[in-house]
Structure 1
Amino acid sequence: MLLLGIDIGTSSIKVSVVDATLQTCIASAQYPDTESAITSKQPGWAEQSPEMWWQHVQNAILLTQKNNTYNPQDISAIGIAYQMHGLVLVDKDQNSLRDSIIWCDSRAVEIGNEAFDKIGHEECLGHLLNSPGNFTASKLAWVKANEPEIYAKTDKIMLPGDFIAMKLTGEITTSASALSEGIFYDFACNRLSHEILNYFGFSESLFATIKPVFADHGHLKKEIADALHLKAGIPVAYKAGDQPNNALSLNVLNPGEVAATAGTSGVIYGVSDVLAYDKESRVNTFAHVNHTEEQKRLGVLLCINGTGSLNRWTKTIFGADTTYQQMNTEARSIKLGSDGLRILPFGNGAERMLNNKLVGVHFQNIDLNLHTRAHIFRAVQEGIAFSFRYGLDIMRGNGMNPSIIRAGKANLFLSDLFTEAFVNATGVPVELYQNDGSIGAALGAGIGSGIYTTPQEAFSNMKPLQLIEPSVKGYEPIYEEWKGLLDKQLANN
């Protein structure tokens, strides 16, 4: 029995086919080979085409079949993970009305901040666990105010994963987890937030039927099944945002367990059973994949927008003739601290952990007679690691004190240098696993379709690849210097 997992990333679509019994990936594909475009019509804006995602999903699924390593008819369920907070609008015929305003778009920050003030900080934090800030609700309010003709045609709003599930099944559903990441969910009342809907003037009819994350979210349409060589009628049995899904893929389900990723954005994601919040909403709390009214499971999420995106930009500008592995090797030739070069890695939209400020990337202390591109390669990875430390200290101030962090051996965690900097800057060991979001989504489909009786059963064969513990001294004073530069930048911002 096989399971299909789809991960709708910002850079590309990743698809994996997993053997449900062995819990191992037997085929995978990524599409496209180069990173997908982000349209930025104005500074701080970021959009992608939902139809582009759909085309790329189909291409990736067909690519997994190219080498005939499995029979597509043996796939029994589909799971979907997706980039969080994006806004997709469709009309009554399920046609997309505009490009998606994605997670790193900053146009709605002031709309969200004004809502926070007018609804009331305590009301928002006590019921929503977050400020409306730069989340989906605020983005929808921007469309309502600035594109009224599109808003008037909107039949349903959804997140990126909901859109792909709709294309596969023709059905539109949502979950408490999805609503919470859009800042539409009232945790105190366990329903859509009447306060948000009333304040912004949103009709409840815009929202789809609410189902659990692990549930039947529709069945594969025959015409789609035929085009993709799959079996008609199999269920989409799981949908979750990429960070809750990444935590699931690392078997992070219980209070105190913590996961991290360092892809396009960087995230530390811890599970709690307490309806708590950061008073400044610098870290955010959402319903985790296994959250229920009876058993609270909240995902406390720290997000840094510009991690892998900065590393990619660095490669494009300074290392176009090298691979990422060669960049890491060059960076290794430079001693700890990059001979004084410091980089603030905040150039991919408003940073929530910095109170939604647009800080930008800053290169500090460049010595034209000393620093080479190898210094830049190292300083970028150190700066990203220091941004994780800065955010983790905020989480610690809110009661999240991990003794170990689990991460997939992917993206920046493929770099021994970055992993070393992360572990020694934060002081927390990292356990690395051979897993990714698409495999997690596939296993989630196994849970949602009843192949596994519990989430724990879905990960019974999972074993860590490596444990990296703090071992290198000298990061603390460099971090304190880096933090001082950030504090000065924030004071001037």
Structure 2
Amino acid sequence: MLLLGIDIGTSSVKVSVLDAVSQSTIASAQFPKEEADIISLQPGWAEQSPELWWEYTQQAIAACNQSGKYNPEDIAAIGIAYQMHGLVLVDKDQKVLRDSIIWCDSRAVEIGNAAFEAIGEEKSLSHLLNSPGNFTASKLAWVKENEPEKYAAIDKIMLPGDFIAMKLTGEITTSISALSEGIFYDFIDHNISSDVINYFGFSKDLFPPVQPVFSVHGTVRPGLAQKLGLKNSIPVAYKAGDQPNNALSLNVLKPGEVAATAGTSGVIYGVSDQPVYDPQSRVNTFAHVNYATNQTRTGVLLCINGTGSLNRWAKSLFGSDISYQQMNEEARQINPGSEGLLVLPFGNGAERMLNNRQVGAQIIGIDVNRHNRAHIFRAVQEGIACAFRYGLDIMRENGMDPTVIRAGKANMFMSDIFTETFVNVTGVPVELYKNDGSAGAALGAGIGAGIFTSPEEAFNNMLPVQKIEPTGNQFEQIYQQWKTLLEKQLTTN
């Protein structure tokens, strides 16, 4: 029996097919081969076409099927992971009304700040666990204010994964986890927040039916199944945002367990059994995939917008003639600290952990007689690791103090330099696993379709491929220098 997982990322869509018994990946593919574009019509704006996500999804499924490594007729369930906080709008005919305003778009910051003040800081934090900030609800309010004709045509609002499920099944659903990531969910009233919809003037009719994350969200339409080479009526049995899904893929489901990822953005995500919140909303709390009204499982999320995106920028500007592996090998020749070169990795929109400030990416301390591109390659990775430490310290203020962090051996965690710096700067060991977001979505589908009797069964074959322990405190001085630079920028910016 096989499971198919779809991961709608910012850079690409990845599809994986797993064997349900061994929980091992049989085939995977991603589109586009080069990183997908982000449409930025104005500074701070970021949009993508939902129809392109769908096109990439179909191409990736076809590529997996054409690998010849399995019989597509054996696929029993589909799961979907997706970039969080994106806003997708469709009319009554399920036609997309505009490009999606995605997670790193900053246009709605002031709208969210005004809602935070109007609803009241204490009530927002205790009921929503967040400020409306720059999340999906505020983006919808921006459309209502600035594009009233498009707003008037909306039948349903959804997140990126809901859209792909709609294209597969023709049905639109949501979940408590999804509502919470959009800042639409009231954790005390256990319902769509009346404070949010009344303040913004939204109708409840805009929201799809609410179902558990692990449940059947529809079955693949017969004509489409034939086109995709699949059997009829395969259930879409799981949908979750990329960070809750990344935690699931690493079997991070219990209070105190912590996951990390360093793809386009960087995230530390810890599970709690309390409705915790940061008084400044610098880290954010959402309903985890296994949240229920009678079992609190929240995910405390630290996000750094520009991690892999900054590393990619450095490569395109200084290392377009080499691979990422060669780039890391050059950086390996430079001593820790990059001979005084410091990088602030904040160039991809407003940073929540910096109170929605836009500090910008900065390279400080360049000595043209000493520094070459290898110094920049290392300093970029060190700067990203220091940003993780800064955010982890905020999480520690809010009661999240991990003894080990689990991560997939993918993206920046494929770099020994980044991983070693991350471990030594944070002081926390890291366990690396082979699973990625698309594999996690496939396993989630197995749980939702009842193929696994429990989440524990879905991960009974999962073992770490590597564990990295801290080796010394020489990185503390590097971090303190970096932190001093950041705090200086925050006071002058």
Q: Look up the SS of the partner of 2:96 in the other structure.
A: coil
Aligned residue identity for 1:339: E
Aligned residue identity for 1:114: A
Q: How does 1:292-331 map to 2 (within 5 A)?
A: 292-331=292-331
Q: Which runs of 5+ in 1 are unaligned?
A: none
Q: How does 1:56-455 map to 2 (within 5 A)?
A: 56-455=56-455
The Cα shift of 1:67 comes to 2.1
Once residues 113 and 370 of structure 1 are traced to their aligned partners in structure 2, the CA distance between those partners, rounded to angstroms, is: 45
- 1:236-280 per-residue CA deviation (whole Å, 9 max, x = no partner) reads 000000000000000000000000000000000000001110000
Q: Look up the SS of the partner of 2:451 in the other structure.
A: coil
The Cα shift of 1:5 comes to 0.1
Moved more, 210-219 or 61-70: 61-70
Aligned residue identity for 1:205: D
- 1:342-392 per-residue CA deviation (whole Å, 9 max, x = no partner) reads 000000000000000011001111101110000000000000000000000
The Cα shift of 1:446 comes to 0.2
Once residues 8 and 257 of structure 1 are traced to their aligned partners in structure 2, the CA distance between those partners, rounded to angstroms, is: 25
Aligned residue identity for 1:386: C
- 1:124-161 per-residue CA deviation (whole Å, 9 max, x = no partner) reads 00100000000000000000000000000000000000
Per the alignment, residue 471 of structure 1 pairs with 471
Per the alignment, residue 461 of structure 1 pairs with 461
Moved more, 472-481 or 160-169: 472-481
The Cα shift of 1:163 comes to 0.1
Q: Look up the SS of the partner of 1:14 in the other structure.
A: strand
Once residues 223 and 149 of structure 1 are traced to their aligned partners in structure 2, the CA distance between those partners, rounded to angstroms, is: 33
Once residues 475 and 67 of structure 2 are traced to their aligned partners in structure 1, the CA distance between those partners, rounded to angstroms, is: 47
- 1:94-151 per-residue CA deviation (whole Å, 9 max, x = no partner) reads 0000000000000000000010011100110010000000000000000000000000
Q: Look up the SS of the partner of 1:395 in the other structure.
A: helix
Aligned residue identity for 1:38: I
Once residues 453 and 473 of structure 2 are traced to their aligned partners in structure 1, the CA distance between those partners, rounded to angstroms, is: 45
Once residues 321 and 184 of structure 1 are traced to their aligned partners in structure 2, the CA distance between those partners, rounded to angstroms, is: 46
Once residues 182 and 213 of structure 1 are traced to their aligned partners in structure 2, the CA distance between those partners, rounded to angstroms, is: 15
Once residues 441 and 384 of structure 1 are traced to their aligned partners in structure 2, the CA distance between those partners, rounded to angstroms, is: 27
Aligned-CA RMSD value = 0.5
Aligned residue identity for 1:40: S
- 1:214-245 per-residue CA deviation (whole Å, 9 max, x = no partner) reads 00100000111011000111100000000000
The Cα shift of 1:472 comes to 3.5
The Cα shift of 1:50 comes to 0.1
Aligned residue identity for 1:105: D
- 1:3-49 per-residue CA deviation (whole Å, 9 max, x = no partner) reads 00000000000000000011111010011110000000000000000
Once residues 279 and 187 of structure 1 are traced to their aligned partners in structure 2, the CA distance between those partners, rounded to angstroms, is: 16
TM-score in terms of structure 2 length: 1.00
Per the alignment, residue 11 of structure 1 pairs with 11
Once residues 413 and 10 of structure 1 are traced to their aligned partners in structure 2, the CA distance between those partners, rounded to angstroms, is: 18
Q: Look up the SS of the partner of 1:174 in the other structure.
A: coil
- 1:50-90 per-residue CA deviation (whole Å, 9 max, x = no partner) reads 00000000000000012211111110100000000000000
Aligned residue identity for 2:322: T
2:20 paired with 1:20: yes
Per the alignment, residue 39 of structure 2 pairs with 39
Per the alignment, residue 482 of structure 2 pairs with 482
Q: Which runs of 5+ in 2 are unaligned?
A: none
Aligned residue identity for 2:31: Y
Once residues 312 and 148 of structure 1 are traced to their aligned partners in structure 2, the CA distance between those partners, rounded to angstroms, is: 37
Once residues 190 and 139 of structure 1 are traced to their aligned partners in structure 2, the CA distance between those partners, rounded to angstroms, is: 23
Once residues 472 and 324 of structure 1 are traced to their aligned partners in structure 2, the CA distance between those partners, rounded to angstroms, is: 27
Aligned residue identity for 1:61: I
Identical residues among aligned pairs (%): 72
Once residues 282 and 423 of structure 2 are traced to their aligned partners in structure 1, the CA distance between those partners, rounded to angstroms, is: 22
Once residues 295 and 460 of structure 2 are traced to their aligned partners in structure 1, the CA distance between those partners, rounded to angstroms, is: 22
Q: Look up the SS of the partner of 2:361 in the other structure.
A: strand
Aligned residue identity for 2:435: N
Once residues 473 and 94 of structure 1 are traced to their aligned partners in structure 2, the CA distance between those partners, rounded to angstroms, is: 56
The Cα shift of 1:473 comes to 3.3
Once residues 223 and 486 of structure 2 are traced to their aligned partners in structure 1, the CA distance between those partners, rounded to angstroms, is: 54
Once residues 25 and 465 of structure 1 are traced to their aligned partners in structure 2, the CA distance between those partners, rounded to angstroms, is: 15
Aligned residue identity for 1:381: Q
Aligned residue identity for 1:69: K
- 1:142-184 per-residue CA deviation (whole Å, 9 max, x = no partner) reads 0000000000000000000000000000000000000000000
Once residues 293 and 252 of structure 1 are traced to their aligned partners in structure 2, the CA distance between those partners, rounded to angstroms, is: 19
The Cα shift of 1:191 comes to 0.5
Aligned residue identity for 1:158: M
TM-score in terms of structure 1 length: 1.00
